[in-house]
Structure 1
Amino acid sequence: MKIFHTLFERSLLLRLGIAMAAIALLTVLGMASSIIVAETMQGGGAAIDLAGSLRMQSHRIVNLVLLAQERQNPDDKRVAQAALQHFNLTLRDGRLLSALPTDPGSASQIHYRALVNDWQQHLQPAMLAALEGTGRGGTTAGRTYAGDAALLGEIDGFVERVDQFVKQLSQNMDAKVTLQRTILGVSLFFTIVVIFVSMYMLHTEVLVPLLDLLNYAERIGHGQFDIRTQHTGPDELGRLGRAFNGMAAELSKLYRNLEIRVAEKTAELSRSNQSLELLYHSIARLYNGPVARDTYAILLKDIESVLDIGHGSACLVEGERDRASLLASTFVAEAGDVDLCHVSNCAECLGGAVMHQRLAGDSQHTILALPLMDAERQHGVLQLEIQKGRTLEAWQMQLLEALCRHIGTAIGTARKSEQSRRVSLLEERAVIARELHDSLAQSLSFMKIQVSRLQSVLGTPPPAEAGKILSELRQGLNSAYRELRELLTTFRLKIEGTGLSSALQDTVTEFSGRGGIQIQLDVHLAGCRLSANEEIHVLQIIREALSNVVHHARARQVKALVSFDSDGILSATVEDDGIGFNGSPDMHHYGMAIMQERARSLGGKLETENRATGGTRVSLSFKPATCNEPAPVQLHGFAT
């Protein structure tokens, strides 16, 4: 017994096996008991059905006997005798007898014997006598009415005794069902108890130790080599726990120093991977799209995330080297961020095309400014906010320098591509201008000469009707020639590489000197770079508006405004303080038809109206194809 107890404690499998055997034994006992009870119940339902059919057969036999007695027909008599014989067979049916208990003193046996005796001693003889024509009491026309009534009364009493017998059989069947349920319930109860005991034992002695060992193994996998399991009992899992503790101790000794080196290498590889990933995505964004604000905003956020620094901004040099426009920024004023552009002089930020640092406006951060350059020139500056006193590591500086080189190269490539498209467009327009000059201009000059010759032929003065026609013809030729000269001037116009802002400044200077009037220029492009075709159309519309002012407005002051608003709409407005116009402007005289055509080609609209304070306002508005939402940067100019 002591050996079994020791084996029971040391063997977990033995305890689980005993529990499984108990569950199997209870299951077998329950199933066997159910089979035995079911065997005793077999045929019970059929017996109840047979016993219940005796009631219907009794009434049927009485009806057949009375019918045969009334008709005195041999066929009816044979049918009644056959029904009596079938009733006797049903009463002695083996299925009915097998459903009765074997105990002679049982209630079912007593009811059955009483029922058989009543049938054999009273009812059956009476029915046979009625079939033979004998009966009790007086007869009328061969039939005994008093006997019929007595026979019906005896049948009703017999049916009541059949009902009691059927009820007794049903009670016997219910008792067997109740016994079967009780046996199954007791077996199920004990089976559930054993199962719960087994599950509790499985949980406390198997599942909990295994989960603890699994948890400890995962923690060791994460580098926690100092943990030890408390499950060190005499059974199989206890021996596994002791072996686990020994393994953890050995691993702790082996990897104590190796963990530090692995962490260092992992951190270095992680930084390298982040740097390469940032370079890859940055290059893909920079070289596969235009110089757009969204692209550089995403790039700034990636730099902030990888280098763990503050917000930043990117500015582009526009025209002069000492001015720049804000291209993109992660500065959020509502979040309390410090504005990096707190200096008023862009030259201080550009820093002479070298990397430099300066103190931020809050005196708590340092601004690191890195030039965005390619092999030819500086295109802008990248500003990043870092904590005061923090020094970036060597790999961080190398990453920033590489990114700045790629950004500068991407901007330079985009500008060269844009300049190349502009040059191609201008060359094509120059070819068209030469063709017009060599063909249509020569034809118009020839026609003017022919009109002069015609006037000489007609004499001086010419006839009234002919003179009117010649005047209209000369006026039409002069108008066509003037419009052709304007068209040739338009085609020969060039925008140099400095962009639209510089071309507008040159235009203002030209018309200010030509008309002797003061023209104020305000350009607010906010880093938006138009396509070559858009720049040409905007410049030509402004030139045409200024030309109308110089020739027809009699103005003293003119304002020209070009702005790019928060909705992505570029607006160009020319206002003067001249005499305005009466009614609708002369579309042909002032070149408004060409201006309207240019506005439609831009997908915008052109409006001309008299100002309330006097003078005329010409407004162009359209949505550029390549510009995003603007950043707040302005460029102002003034010419006299």
Structure 2
Amino acid sequence: MTIHSRLRLMILSITALAATVIGISLTFIEQSETDAAAINVAGSLRMQTWRIAEHVVVAELVTEEILAPLVDVYDLSIHRPSLTLLNQRGGKIQEQYQDVVFQWEQVMRPRLVHRNFAGYVEDVPAFVDKIDRMVFSLQQDNEEKLNVLFTAMLVALGLLLFISILIFWDVRRNILTPVRLLMQASRDVRKGTFDIHIPYRGNNELGHLSGAFTKMASDLKLYYQQLEEKVAEQTKALTQSNAALELLYESSEMLASNPFNQEVLKAYLGRWQKLLNLQECYVCLTTQQDMDWLERIAAPGSLMMTCADGHCSSCLSCGDKLSAGGDSLASIQFVIKGSGGSMEYGFLRATPARDQLLTEEERQWIQLFVDVIGKALGQYRKRELDRRILLMEERTVIARELHDSLAQSLSYQKIQLARIQRLTQQGEDPEKVKVIVEDLQEAVASAYKHLRELLVTFRLSMGDGTLRENIERTLEGFSKQSKSLTFDLDYRIRFLPLDAHQEVHILQIIREALNNVVQHSQATRSTVRCYQEDHEIVVSVTDNGCGLSESPEKAGHYGLSIMSERANSLGGHMSYVSTAAGGVRVELRFPVAETEEQDMNNDINKKHDAEVSQ
């Protein structure tokens, strides 16, 4: 018999026995509830009989209003459903109930109706005795049912005990024993022991499972041996991949700061050569457009190979084969390009050990390392180019300001000196010469003052840190210069693409504006604000001083022109307005360069605003 059939038979046997016991119990409970209700109602009849007797003892005090409700309640109680059901039970209880009803309806009730209260009171004890005998019969009947239920429970308990013993024996023999053997076999398999034999061979599911488990263990023994070999190979490959990723990460960190450190580059080439078991690994690099002359950097232990004719163009055109000592080595060459791929910085050549080839994954690792070198060189070249452009722009600004201020002033002084020389030669009035000399002295003093202002402006530098930190340091410096001035900063540029070129010009404009506040405004408070408005960056310097003069260019000593030039280089413009409080607001506005992601976010925001407006 199968386990499924055995379990089904066990469950059906227990279920049938439980259903029988439950059915008997429910039947007894139902009848017990009826008997209990009948006993309670019969008890209330006794109480009502005596209560009526108490009310009719003095006949003169009994009225129809008192007697009628008592009789009606008694009629309802004696005909309650719990009592009327006694008519269906037959036997002694039915006769006793019918006798009580007859006595009430034919004797007791008519005497009350005809106000024969003395006769009613006289028959009350006999009538109550009949009710008591009926209650006693109900109690006896209920006790007999309890005895029958108790006997049935004992029989059911015996049957349940017998079935349980039978089920336990069968489960232990045909289920627990083979399951225990299978569990022990599974533990052996988990420990790596595959020589397993399960003796149970029953004609059921567990018997078939035992045979299949024994066959499976023998198969697993074979598969496990093969799997160990594959795991060893995969572990080696994973270890190599992890080392390669770690090497790529370290090289990207180190080469990003200084890609021209040959010792560092040699060390990384040596690590790649050891990791990939290369016979040769070197790079040839240049930072110029001419690819004919490259600097060769080789890993320690690489084959010392020389170029055929001293020119690097031969290596670039020799393909993937390179002769070394008469042997042909399958070398692979990787071109090193910048981030955009517009410039080539050289190549990396890797030669695997004899009778070996680089896998596709190993080629990808070398290509990633080559990309790291190219990216580092490209970023370094871009930083240098940006620094040069910024330096040339600063020099252009300095040259323009020197030409517009000092050169014009010196030209004016040269003319005045020529006038003095001519007047002296002609013997003119000394008073005329004195006037020219005084004018010349004033021009020299003005030129010297202009020069000091320009030196203060151009000596200011962009320190390390963010734009906000540099502005805060600038405000601290001006606070030390002018104790009577209070400087505030409202910086709300949180996440915008500002490059170093823009930050330098913003900082220089703020410094020039603050210098004008200190020198000319007679203010007590100045506020610097930086924020974004639509697609523009707004930088303003506001004070509460005396306001703009009639000719601000003259009063600013070319400082306003310097700020305007810087604003033009940013693609923006400057504005100078008087505030309602009497001070001056110097404002810079220039467009911000948006990334593709910002353009996408702006389009999404516009669509959202359009949907909301609809």
TM range (shorter): 0.3 to 0.5
Which structure has the higher relative contact order (CA within 8 Å, separation 6+)?
1
TM-score normalised by L of structure 2: 0.44
TM-score normalised by L of structure 1: 0.43
